[in-house]
Amino acid sequence: AQSVTQLGSHVSVSEGALVLLRCNYSSSVPPYLFWYVQYPNQGLQLLLKYTTGATLVKGINGFEAEFKKSETSFHLTKPSAHMSDAAEYFCAVTRSGNTPLVFGKGTRLSVIA
Amino acid sequence: DAGVTQSPTHLIKTRGQQVTLRCSPKSGHDTVSWYQQALGQGPQFIFQYYEEEERQRGNFPDRFSGHQFPNYSSELNVNALLLGDSALYLCASSLWGTGDSYGYTFGSGTRLTVV
């Protein structure tokens, strides 16, 4: 079975500071990994995804993530936080085209002015 | 290009009642998955529909059922509502076989409150 662990249910950073949201996964087969963002009272928006190939993945809004197989990690980073980045972030894993996504519990990002 | 559309946006029901939630997938998508997101939790997979058949199911009781129509839209039905069914219900669409490559497109959800 696949699973996702997101370390830290709440992360708070200052505007302009580095954002680092941690995600570790468990999978017996090569994983496909995703980061989604959820703004209050909204659905999920895809930030970025790792399928195959380059392990450093760039997404929307300046976010990027690096797939590290040896560490079973897929941490999300952004060099400089913006107030508009405040939201809930979810890491998810799947293993094939039709297998459902398995989500972590989410990390709430707060950005302090 | 319309994304995933869900209706209604909010719903309040009484324990024991039945509810139907609706989803129209993104244009070009033929597969619909439903997720339940309880407060403070990540989404949990309920089931997936393709070609009008339930293809996969998560760990949810038979009180949760669904349907997919020929135009790919879908309904989620919940019978005998419990207080614990209160959650945000998310619909996600994809093209069959490509969820791993292209991801899933999510709707804004239906907020169900059971009182």
Query: Within an 8 Å CB–CB cutoff, is residue A99 touching chain B?
Result: yes
CB contact under 8 A, B103 and A49: yes
Alpha carbon B69 to its chain centroid, in Å, reads 14
**Which residues, 6 or more positions from B40, have their beta carbon under 8 angstroms from its beta carbon?**
A105, A106
What pLDDT digit, counting tens, does each position of A5-52 carry?
Answer: 999 999 999 999 999 999 999 988 888 999 999 998 888 999 999 988
What pLDDT digit, counting tens, does each position of B75-87 carry?
Answer: 999 999 999 999 9
Count of alpha carbons within 13 Å of A22, Cβ hemisphere only?
A: 10
Please determine, for residue B99, whether its predicted confidence score (pLDDT) is greater than 80: no
Residue B98 burial (C-beta neighbours within 10 Å; 0-12, 13-18, 19+): middle
Give pLDDT, residue B1.
56
Question: How close is the nearest chain B Cα to the Cα of A108, in Å?
Answer: 10
Question: How close is the nearest chain A Cα to the Cα of B90, in Å?
Answer: 7
Give pLDDT, residue A26.
93
Residue B9 pLDDT grade (very low, low, confident, very high; cuts 50, 70, 90):
very high
**Stretch B31-50: mean pLDDT, rounded?**
96
Please determine, for residue B101, whether its predicted confidence score (pLDDT) is greater than 80: no
CB contact under 8 A, B100 and A94: yes
Q: Which residues of B25-39 are buried (b: 16+ CB within 10 A; e: fewer)?
A: bbeebebbbbbbbee
Average pLDDT, chain B: 94
Give pLDDT, residue A34.
94
What residues of chain B, 4 to 23, have a C-beta less than 8 Å from chain A?
4, 6
User: Which of residues B53 and A53 earns the better pLDDT score?
Assistant: B53
Please determine, for residue B103, whether its predicted confidence score (pLDDT) is greater than 90: no
What pLDDT digit, counting tens, does each position of A60-111 carry?
Answer: 999 999 999 999 999 999 999 999 999 999 999 998 778 899 999 999 999 9
Measured CA to CA, the distance from residue B22 to residue B76 in angstroms comes to: 6
Residue B109 pLDDT grade (very low, low, confident, very high; cuts 50, 70, 90):
very high
Query: Within an 8 Å CB–CB cutoff, is residue B106 touching chain A?
Result: yes
Nearest to A8 by CA among A111, A82, A89: A89
What is the SS3 assignment for A83? helix
CB contact under 8 A, B103 and A97: no
User: Which of residues B75 and B1 earns the better pLDDT score?
Assistant: B75
Q: Which two tokens stand for residue B87?
A: 């959650």
